[in-house]
């Protein structure tokens, strides 16, 4: 017991979904430069070496604050780069808007959600390993913190 025990690492996933429009306007001229919508999937992956007193990494219910943040800030919005001229139109139309510092690609949305997830969930025992953002069943991006 103890000294020859293999070290193991645990991971768990939780998936959330939201609906939103976006377009790639910054230095981009493909068809995704047109405003269009996705049913986005967000996968948060949590890792840790030790389970808690209940022998779990984290209660799936305790990941709900991220879902709440997504619902409040991203769901049924138009997601636009801060310098996109469409920002003014969406504001004037009193439509829900989420403004990003970089182009609102899957990569950057994963980066934005990662920052929030780390703020919500990282502690001495567990860490957010990655966030995956999928804009369709076949296309997505993952972002990992580098420590």
The site for Zn ion (CB under 5 A) is made up of: 135
Cβ-based nearer residue to Zn ion, 108 or 129: 108
Residue 135 C-beta: closest distance to Zn ion, Å: 5
Residue 43 C-beta: closest distance to Zn ion, Å: 17
Cβ-based nearer residue to Zn ion, 20 or 128: 20
Cβ-based nearer residue to Zn ion, 132 or 135: 135
Residue 128 C-beta: closest distance to Zn ion, Å: 24
Question: 84: buried, middle or exposed (CB in 10 Å: 19+, 13-18, 0-12)?
Answer: buried
- Residues 89 and 80 sit within 8 Å (Cβ to Cβ): no
Distance of CA 62 to the CA centre of its chain: 16
Residue 79 C-beta: closest distance to Zn ion, Å: 9
Q: Which of 22, 19, 20, 17 is nearest to 104 (CA)?
A: 22
- Residues 20 and 38 sit within 8 Å (Cβ to Cβ): yes
Cβ-based nearer residue to Zn ion, 28 or 89: 28
């Amino acid at each position: 017991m103890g000294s020859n025990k293999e070290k193991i690492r645990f991971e768990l996933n939780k998936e959330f979904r939201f609906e939103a429009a976006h377009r790639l306007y910054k230095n981009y001229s493909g068809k995704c430069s047109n405003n269009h919508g996705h049913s986005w999937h967000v996968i948060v992956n949590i890792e840790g070496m030790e389970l808690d007193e209940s022998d779990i990494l984290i209660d799936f219910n305790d990941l709900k604050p991220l879902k709440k943040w997504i619902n409040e800030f991203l769901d049924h919005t138009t997601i636009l780069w801060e310098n996109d001229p469409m920002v003014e139109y969406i504001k004037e139309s009193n439509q829900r808007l989420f403004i990003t510092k970089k182009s609102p690609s899957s990569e950057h949305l994963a980066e934005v959600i990662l920052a929030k997830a780390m703020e919500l969930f990282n502690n001495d025992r567990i860490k957010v390993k990655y966030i995956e953002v999928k804009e369709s069943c076949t296309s997505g991006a993952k972002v990992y913190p580098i420590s």
